[in-house]
Structure 1
Amino acid sequence: MKLLHSPIFRSFSSKTYIPSSRGMGISNEVLNIIEKEDPIEPALDDLVDFMCPNVVSFILEQKRENRELSFRFFIWAAKRNRFISWVSENMIEDMLLRDGGFDLYWSVLDKLKLSGIDITSRAFGTLIWGYWKVNKAEKAVEAFGRMNDFDCKPNLFTYNMILHITVQKDAILLALAVYNVMLKLNSNPNCSTFSILIDGLCKSGKTQDALKLFDEMSERGVLPNKITYTVILSGLCQAKRTDDAHRLLNVMKSRGCKPDFVAYNALLNGFCKLGRVDEAYTLLRSFESEGYVADIKGFTCLVDGFVRTKRIDEAQSVFKKLLETDVVPDVVLYTTMIRGLSGAGRVKEALNLLRDMTGRGVQPDTQCYNTLIKGFCDMDLLDQAQSLQLEISENECFPDTCTYSILICRMCRNGLVEEARNIFNEMENLGCFPSVVTFNTLIDGLCKAGELEEAHLMFYKMEIGKNPSLFLRLSQGADRVLDNVSLQKMVEKLCESGKILKAYKLLMQLADCGVVPNLVTYNILINGLCKSGKINGAFKLFQELQVKGHLPDSITYGTLIDGLQRVDREEEAFKLLDQMSKNGCMPSAEVYKSLMTWSCRRGQIPIAFSLWLKYLRNQAVRDDEVIGLIEKHLEKGELEKVVRGLLEMDLKLEDFDSSPYNIWLIGMCQERKPRDALKIFSLLEEFNVMISAPSCVMLIHSLCEEGNLDQAVEVFLYTLERGVRLMPRICNRLLQSLLRSQDKAQHAVGLLERMRSVGYNLNDYLHSGTRSLFRRWNRRETEHLSPG
Structure 2
Amino acid sequence: MSVMFQAVFDLASREPGKLFEVYSKAVEWNVGLGVNSVTHLIRCFSRANLIDKSMLVFSELDTQMKNVHVRNVVIDELLRNRRLDDALQVLDDMLEPNSEVLPDENTMDIVFPALFRGKVYGRWVSDDEFVEIVARFVRRGVFPNSITLTKWISGFCRSKRTNVAWNVLHTVMELGGPVEVASCNALLTGLNKAREFDKMNSLMKTMQDKGIVPNVVTLGISINHLCKAMRVDEALNLFEKLRRGEISADIKPDVVLYNTLIDGLCKLGRVEEGLSMMRRMSSESECSPSTITFNCLIDGFCKAGDIDKALELFDEMEKEDVERSIVTVNVLVSGLCRHGRAGGALKLYREMQEKGFDGNAVTYTTLISGFCGVNNVRKAMDLLGEMKGKCPTDAIVYYTLISGFSQAGLMDEVESVVTEMKNAGFRPDIGCYNVMINGFCQKNKLEKAHQLLKDMDTDGLKPDSFTYNTLISYFSKIGDLKTSHEILSQMMKDKIVPTVVTFGVLINAFCSAGQLQNAMKIFKEIKHSTRVPPNTVIYNTLIDCHCRNNMVKGALSLFGEMLGKDVKPNTNTFNALFKALRDEKQLGKALELMDKMTEQGCSPDYITLEVLTQWLPAVGETEKLRLFVEGHTVSSSSMEC
TM-score by length of structure 1 reads: 0.50
The answer to whether structure 1 residue 596 and structure 2 residue 565 are counterparts is no
Q: Which residue matches 2:19?
A: none
Corresponding residue number in structure 2 for 1:337: 332
- Aligned runs of 1:23-422 on 2, under 5 Å? 37-38=58-59, 40=62, 42=64, 45=67, 47=69, 69=80, 82-83=104-105, 120-125=111-116, 127-128=117-118, 146-148=124-126, 160=153, 163-167=156-160, 191=184, 192-193=186-187, 195-201=189-195, 210-217=196-203, 230-231=220-221, 233-234=223-224, 236-238=226-228, 240-250=230-240, 254-256=246-248, 260-288=254-282, 289-401=284-396, 404=399, 407-408=402-403, 411-412=406-407, 414-415=408-409
- The structural deviation recorded for 1:250 is 4.6
Give the gaps of 5 or more residues in structure 2. 4-31, 95-102, 135-148, 175-182, 466-494
* Structure 1: 5+ residue stretches without partners: 18-22, 60-66, 90-119, 129-139, 168-174, 202-209, 469-514, 620-656, 695-788
Kept in 2, the 8 Å contact 1:459–1:517? The answer is no
Q: Which structure carries more relative contact order (alpha carbon 8 Å, separation 6+)?
A: 1
Separation (CA, whole Å) in 1 of partners of 2:322 and 2:371: 30
Shift in alpha-carbon separation, 1:453–1:364, aligned structure 2, 3 A: same
SS across alignment from 2:194 = helix
Q: Secondary structure at the match of 1:300?
A: helix
Tell me how far 1:121 sits from its aligned partner. Answer: 5.0
Relative distance call for 1:467 and 1:446 in structure 2 (3 A) is: closer
Offset at residue 387 of structure 1 (A): 3.5
1:300–1:332 Cα contact (<8 Å) kept: yes
Shift of 1:200: 1.9
Choose from 440, 461, 465 the match for 2:462: 465
Give how far 1:378 is off.
3.0
Distance in structure 1 (CA, Å) of the matches to 2:520 and 2:436: 18
Deviations 1:278-315 (Å, cap 9, x if unpaired)? Answer: 11122223344244332221111111122123222221
Q: After TM superposition, list the pairs within 5 Å mapping 1:260-659 onto structure 2.
A: 260-288=254-282, 289-401=284-396, 404=399, 407-408=402-403, 411-412=406-407, 414-415=408-409, 430-435=426-431, 465=462, 519=499, 522=502, 525=505, 529=509, 533=513, 536=518, 540=522, 543=525, 574-583=556-565, 585-587=566-568, 591-602=569-580, 604=582, 614=596, 617-618=599-600
Q: C-alpha distance in 2, partners of 1:10/1:298? A: 63
The answer to whether the 8 A contact 1:448-1:528 is kept is no
Secondary structure in 2 aligned to 1:431?
coil
Q: Which amino acid aligns with 2:599?
A: R
* Correspondence for 1:667: 611
Question: Equivalents in 1 of 2:550, 2:314: separation in Å?
Answer: 58
SS in 2 for 1:602: helix
Deviation at 1:372, TM superposition (A): 1.9
Distance 1:560 1:681, change over 3 A: closer
Distance in 1 (CA, whole Å) between partners of 2:217 and 2:345 is 38
Amino acid at match of 1:597: N
Q: Deviation per CA, 1:427-474: give whole Å up to 9, x if none.
A: 789324234xx5776676678778999999999989973989xxxxxx
Mapped partners of 1:545, 1:260: distance in 2 = 57
Contact 1:271/1:279 (8 A) holds in 2:
yes
Check if 1:7 corresponds to 2:3: no
- Which residue identity does 1:614 align to in structure 2? K
1:313/1:464 CA distance change after superposition, 3 Å: closer
Q: Which amino acid aligns with 2:273?
A: E
Residue 259 of structure 2 aligns with an amino acid whose one-letter code is N
AA in 1 matched with 2:571: K
Q: Which residue of 1 aligns with 2:480?
A: none
Deviation at 1:356, TM superposition (A): 3.9
Question: For the structure 1 residues 199 and 212, does the alpha-carbon distance in structure 2 shift closer, same or farther, using more than 3 Å as the test?
Answer: same
User: What RMSD, in angstroms, separates the aligned Cα atoms of the two structures?
Assistant: 6.3
Matched-pair contact (CA < 8 Å) for 1:144–1:162: no
Q: Could you say if the C-alpha distance between residues 160 and 149 of structure 1 is closer, same or farther in structure 2, counting changes exceeding 3 Å?
A: closer
User: Is the CA contact 2:307–2:336 (under 8 Å) kept in the aligned structure 1?
Assistant: yes
SS in 1 for 2:573: helix
Asked whether the equivalents of residues 578 and 611 of structure 2 are also in contact (C-alpha less than 8 Å), the reply is yes
Q: Provide the C-alpha distance between the structure 1 equivalents of 2:623 and 2:386, rounded to a whole number of angstroms.
A: 60
What per-residue deviation string (whole Å, max 9, x for no partner) do you get for residues 75-110 of structure 1?
Answer: 969968634599x89xxxxxxxxxxxxxxxxxxxxx
Residue 579 of structure 1, CA deviation: 4.0
Structure 2: how far apart are the matches of 1:557 and 1:458? 34
- What is the letter of the counterpart of residue 347 of structure 1? A
CA contact (8 A) 1:580 1:586 kept: yes
Task: Specify the SS of the correspondent of 1:660.
Answer: coil
TM superposition shift of 1:379: 2.2
> What letter matches 2:233 in structure 1?
D
**C-alpha separation between the residues in 2 aligned to 1:124 and 1:415?**
59
1:317, CA displacement in angstroms?
1.6
2:326, 2:357 within 8 Å by CA — same for their partners in 1? yes
Change (3 A) 1:611 1:353: farther
Give the aligned partner of residue 712 of structure 1: none
Q: Secondary structure at the match of 2:362?
A: helix
CA distance 1:375–1:181, change in 2 (3 Å): closer
**Counterpart amino acid of residue 593 in structure 1:** T
The code of the aligned residue for 2:115 comes to: F
1:446–1:681 Cα change, 3 Å: farther
Calculate percent identity across the aligned residue pairs: 19
Aligned residue pairs, count? 520
Deviation of 1:598 after TM superposition, in Å, equals 1.9
- Is the alpha carbon distance of 1:151 and 1:668 closer, same or farther for their aligned partners in structure 2, counting shifts above 3 Å? closer
Taking structure 1 as reference, are residues 416 and 550 closer, same or farther at Cα in structure 2, changes over 3 Å only?
farther
CA, structure 1 residues 411+160, in 2 after alignment: closer, same or farther (shift >3 Å)? same
In the TM superposition, what is the alpha-carbon distance from 1:214 to its structure 2 partner?
A: 3.6
Superposed CA deviations along residues 638-669 of structure 1, whole A, max 9, x for unmatched, are xxxxxxxxxxxxxxxxxxx9x72323244358
Match of 1:649 in 2: none
